[in-house]
Amino acid sequence: MRHIFWAGDSTVACNKFATFPQTGIGQALDRYTAADVVICNHAVNGRSTKSFIDESRLATIYDEITEGDYLFIQFGHNDEKINDPARYTDPHGDFITNLGKFVNVARNKMAYPVFITSVERRLFDENGSLKPSEHTEYVKGMKEAAEKFDVPMVDLFTMSRDFLEKTGDEASRKYYMNLAPGEASWAPEGKIDNSHLKYEGAMLYAGMIAKGLKKLGEPYSSLLADEAFLGNTLDIEFNG
């Protein structure tokens, strides 16, 4: 068996009944992977590169990951929390340094590191245009780290932002923990959540990651399910 270890935040993490219908991308990716691939999802809500390391979660991955495994590294949402010293990192400083620590864990155990940029938030202005992103500098930082450490990267940020721009405000609601037109309210006190995903969104963005892995070629593309099935599934997902 091959294993994908995933380090990240709530957009990736597995959810239980208490947070239904919220679904992390890591929960959906196994719909796209080959039969011999097991996903070990270590992502936890609210974590940044800093807090993930400080809480010894990266050390746990080091103890478990083995030769030939993969480490998917997806952070940014919580590294942005400038008012929280327990989580904040400078996008062109500590963020890059921390990403290097994840890379070292993978390579020291003869595993393959992969960077994945943050999924975009669904934030539109009053004119229906997608607002400038809060993730931009962290996406740039991850790209810098990818070059510095020679790590392959799947740019989920760009793919998800392009999707939101094309799909628009109303039609994109069904993918996020928000209300689609005519949908009954699930959220307490009408809470609006434009960051976290429902099952439809997790499947959509996991499909984008699958496309990114396919573009990377071997050994990453072999993680995916049968190519004919995968192509048909991704076409359905992207076309809504």
Tens digit of each residue's pLDDT (9 = 90 or more) over 95-105: 999 999 999 99
Domain of residue 115, CATH code:
3.40.50.1110
pTM of the complete model? 0.91
**What is the reported pLDDT for 156?**
98
Q: Is the pLDDT of residue 159 over 90?
A: yes
Q: Is the pLDDT of residue 189 over 90?
A: no
Percent of the chain clearing pLDDT 70 (strictly above): 89
Average pLDDT of the chain to the nearest whole number = 91
Domain range enclosing 62: 2-238
Q: Is the pLDDT of residue 162 over 80?
A: yes
If one compares 234 and 152, the residue with the highest pLDDT of the two is 152
Q: Is the pLDDT of residue 51 over 70?
A: yes
Q: Is the pLDDT of residue 234 over 70?
A: no
Percent of the chain clearing pLDDT 90 (strictly above): 84
Q: CA–CA separation, 30 vs 24, rounded Å? A: 12
Q: Is the pLDDT of residue 202 over 70?
A: yes
Mean pLDDT over 1-18 rounds to 95
- Give the N- to C-terminal CA distance of the chain in Å, as an integer: 33
| 129-145 pLDDT, tens digit each | 999 999 999 999 999 99
Find out whether 70 and 6 touch, Cβ atoms under 8 Å.
Answer: no
Question: What is the band of 233 on the pLDDT scale with cuts at 50, 70, 90?
Answer: low
Q: Which residues are catalytic?
A: 10, 189, 196
**What is the reported pLDDT for 105?**
98
Structure tokens at 128: 């229906």
- The total number of structural domains in the chain stands at 1
**What is the reported pLDDT for 62?**
98
Q: Is the pLDDT of residue 236 over 50?
A: no
Per-residue HEC secondary structure of the chain comes to CEEEEEEECCCCCCCCHHHCCCCCHHHHHCCCECCCEEEEECCCCCCCHHHHHHCCHHHHHHHHCCCCCEEEEECCCCCCCCCCCCCCCCCCCHHHHHHHHHHHHHHHCCCEEEEECCCCCCCECCCCCECCCCCHHHHHHHHHHHHHHCCCEECHHHHHHHHHHHHCHHHHHHHECCCCCCCCCCCHHHCCCCCCECHHHHHHHHHHHHHHHHHHCCCCHHHECCHHHHHHHHHHHHCC
Mean pLDDT over 148-174 rounds to 96
**AA identity, residue 221:** S
Question: What is the band of 168 on the pLDDT scale with cuts at 50, 70, 90?
Answer: very high
Q: Is the pLDDT of residue 192 over 80?
A: no
The least confident of 45-59, 121-135, 226-240 is 226-240
